[in-house]
Amino acid sequence: MGSSFLNADKSEIVDSSNVNIPTSPLERVVGQPEAVRLAMVAAKQRRNLLLVGPPGIGKSMIAQALSFYIQRPKEEIRVVHNPQQPERPLFEVKTAEEIIAEGEENFSAEGFLSDPKQIPPSVAERLGYRCPKCGQYSSYTEAICPHCSSQKAQGPGQGPFGDVFNVIGAAFGVQNNQERVTSTRRVGDRSEIVVYERAGEMVRLLDERTLERRRKMEKKNPSKAIVLLERNPFVLATGASETELLGDVRHDPYGSHPQLGTLPYERVIAGSIHEAHEGVLFIDEITHLGQLQRFILTAMQEKTFPITGRNPQSAGASVRVDRVPCDFILVAACNIQDLQSILSPLRSRILGNGYEVLMETSMPDTPANRYKYLQFIAQEIAVDGKIPPMSVEGMNIVIEEGKGRAKIVDKKDNALTLRLREMGGLVRVSGDIAFIEGSRIIEASHVREALKIYLPVEEKIKRSYGNLQSAVSSESTLSQKPEEYYYTFTNNPEDPAYR
Ligand SMILES: Nc1ncnc2c1ncn2[C@@H]1O[C@H](COP(=O)(O)OP(=O)(O)OP(=O)(O)O)[C@@H](O)[C@H]1O
Ligand SMILES: [Mg+2]
């Protein structure tokens, strides 16, 4: 035991803070070269992936890491009000370029701001900025001129051509009043219409092109983005709820009452399958989805899936948006026992365009793999952020513990366990002990101490009751069969089971 280590660049490892942690997310996955290789292929080629193996060996970690290697989403999905049939909103896909162009269009429909002194005096008077009596300027909010104390504001549509301006203005959907004045100005050899609007202390000028854009925008049906362009390409589907997975239309107690209700399009909510559009949909324990697996199958076949109200009692049930895009990479995980419970057409769908991986549960005890363990310990400490680095001696004990577990749990000699979630737990418990003691490093003694505490509860039971079976029969009247005894350790090198 007690070996010393070097990094790849030959720098000596003094404690876990010297261990190089890869920056690339998939390289942080320890001991699963096949899964990592195929995850990379799946990311680059947009294939599906089924990860099979016991808990805590990195299935979620790989799924998440994979999402760092795919292209960023390029599309935003919106539902659009359908005035002909409000209960059948339409959808619209917008690219990043289109969204930018739209923003510019909105901006250009805002007109230009100008000082009231820069606009024709008669217009400034009608907007209430200029006093017709003394010609001085003041805020339109002051009805009495602060300079000569006479009444400032005039009624709408005044002046020699007021009536004409009103007609022209109405053609562009604007009314002449105190807040807004329609006038004309000469551009080259023709005259064009300009609308002047109050904008605080400034005046907004809307020329013909701006007015045209405004009118176009007002004509556009209102829409709501349900899948944003800026989104996380990794979507975890818990499968707990159908609506979360497939989307929903919220209930509205007022139905679609024109005044009280909310329009159907506003109540549409995307499901995980839609949020994962262009990204990764990760379904942990896929068999827990049960019958919902069929919907995943359909979504994968069609690459679109309708969003509809899923509660038949709800007003949302009559609303439906057809063919909403959901083109995702499926990464599914399950343990070996559940493999037969995956819907077979779904499994063949995954295989037809992707890979299945049986995850490793241990790796041979070689110097290179011991170094991988150090990397793992360093990662756990870095991610945790609350515990100090671990000494080389401490890390050696963790490695020995990993070796013991491989032997007992996986029946592998000269191997290191890859059930790393639990090993991570050991690192954290050791770290907490060091931290509470005020130690700036996790020493071997802290790890040994942790090994006494860090026993699965079954092991504690075994120690106080002899074995789990007798504990179950003496303590409980449960009719269920106890789960198969899973843990059998190990912290005592004298224990014959250890070596
Ligand atoms: N192969 C690995 N390399 C590095 N760290 C790992 C690995 N496997 C597990 N871990 C550590 O354990 C944690 C839990 O692993 P993860 O959630 O990926 O397990 P899982 O296989 O998805 O388990 P479950 O089936 O219970 O969901 C990870 O966040 C990581 O800290
Ligand atoms: Mg997981």
Question: Cα(334) to centroid of ligand 2, in Å?
Answer: 9
Mutational pocket test of ligand 1: of 19, 28, 60, the residue with most ligand atoms within 8 Å of the beta carbon: 60
Residues present in the chain in total: 499
The CA distance from 300 to 49, in Å, is 13
CA-closest residue to ligand 1 atom 12: 421
**443 within domain boundaries:** yes
Q: Is the predicted pLDDT of residue 491 greater than 80, yes or no?
A: no
For residue 275, pLDDT over 90 is answered with: yes
Give the distance (Å) from ligand 1 centre to CA of residue 319: 41
CA–centroid distance, 109 to ligand 2, in Å, is 50
Same domain? 301 vs 370: no
Residues 51 and 128 reside in one and the same domain = no
Residue nearest to atom 29 of ligand 1 (CA): 61
Domain presence at residue 217 = no
| pLDDT > 70 fraction of the chain, expressed in percent and rounded | 84
- Mean pLDDT across the stretch 83-103? 92
Structural domain boundaries enclosing 123? 112-206
How many Cα neighbours within 13 Å face the side chain of 178?
Answer: 11
Of 325, 358, 391, the residue that ends a domain is 358
Specify the CATH number for the domain of residue 392: 1.10.8.60
- Interatomic CA distance for residues 465 and 474, integer angstroms: 9
Residue 423 lies in a domain: yes
The answer to which of 92-96, 129-133, 220-224, 476-480 has the lowest mean pLDDT is: 476-480
Which parts of 131-279 are beta strand (E)? 180-187, 190-199, 202-206, 223-227, 234-237, 248-249, 268-269
For residue 479, being part of any structural domain is answered with no
The more confident residue out of 161 and 246 is 246
Judgement on whether residues 22 and 44 belong to the same structural domain of the protein: no
**Quick one: which ligand is closest to 52's CA?**
1
Quick check: 285 pLDDT over 60? yes
Any domain includes 493: no
Residues 151 and 248 in one domain: no
Closest by CA position to 396, among listed 370, 428, 366: 370
Could you report the per-residue pLDDT of 101-114, keeping only the tens digit for each? 888 877 777 788 99
Measured from the alpha carbon of residue 53, the closest ligand is 1
Cα 305 to Cα 156: distance, rounded to the nearest angstrom: 54
Q: How confident is the model at residue 5 (pLDDT cuts 50, 70, 90)?
A: confident
Q: Which of 454, 470, 485 is where one domain is finished?
A: 454
Residues 84 and 131 in one domain: no
Phi and psi at 494, nearest 5°, equal: -75, -20
> Which residue has the CA at smallest separation from atom 30 of ligand 1?
421
Ligand nearest to the CA of 419: 1
If you take atom 11 of ligand 1, which residue's CA is the nearest one? 421
Q: Is residue 215 part of a domain?
A: no
Q: Tell which atom from ligand 1 comes closest to the C-alpha of 284.
A: 27
Asked whether residue 261 falls in the same domain as residue 312, the answer is yes
Q: Whose CA is nearest to atom 25 of ligand 1?
A: 55
Distance of CA 496 to the CA centre of its chain: 49
Report the SS3 class of residue 405.
helix
Q: How far is the CA of 423 from the centre of ligand 2 (A)?
A: 15
Torsion angle, alpha carbons of 10, 13, 18, 19, to 10: 80
Same-domain check for residues 431 and 369: yes
Report the atom number in ligand 1 closest to the C-alpha of 63: 18
**Per-residue pLDDT band at 468 (split at 50, 70, 90):** low
Same domain, 367 and 343: no
d(CA 80, CA 77) in angstroms, rounded, equals: 10
- If you measure from the C-alpha of residue 338 to the centroid of ligand 1, how many angstroms do you get, rounded to a whole number? 19
pLDDT for residue 3: 63
Residue 334 burial by CB count (10 A; 0-12/13-18/19+): exposed, middle or buried?
buried
The alpha carbon of 446 and the centre of ligand 1 are apart by a number of angstroms equal to: 24
Q: Which atom of ligand 1 is nearest to the CA of 335?
A: 25
Residue 497 inside a domain? The answer is no
pLDDT digit string, tens, across residues 18-74: 999 999 999 999 999 999 999 999 999 999 999 999 999 999 999 999 999 999 999
Mutation test residue for ligand 1: of 36, 61, 363, the one with most atoms within 8 Å of CB: 61
Instruction: Give the pLDDT confidence score for residue 489 in this predicted structure.
Output: 43
Ligand 1 atom, smallest distance to 30 CA: 3
Q: Are residues 326 and 375 in the same domain?
A: no
Q: Say how many C-beta atoms besides its own lie within 10 A of residue 32's C-beta.
A: 24
Cα(126) to centroid(ligand 1), Å: 71
Residue ranges lining ligand 1, Cβ < 6 Å: 28-32, 55-61, 284, 376, 380, 418, 420-421, 424
Distance 376 CA to ligand 1 centre (A): 11
Q: What CATH number should be reported for the domain holding residue 319? A: 3.40.50.300
Final residue of a structural domain among 174, 206, 238: 206
Tally of domains in the chain: 3
Ligand nearest, relative to CA of residue 357: 1
Identify the nearest ligand to the CA of 30 by its number: 1
H or E element that contains 452:
helix 444-453
Looking at the fold, whether 327 and 274 belong to one and the same domain comes out as yes
Residue 234 scores a pLDDT above 80: yes
The per-residue pLDDT for 484 is 42
Contact predicate 58/341, CB 8 Å: no
Whether 354 and 290 share a structural domain: yes
Is 469 inside any structural domain? no
Contact 304, 255 (CB under 8 A): no
Query: Same structural domain for residues 247 and 344?
Result: yes
Burial group, residue 245, by CB count within 10 angstroms (0-12, 13-18, 19+): buried
Q: 326 CA distance to ligand 1 centroid (A)?
A: 27
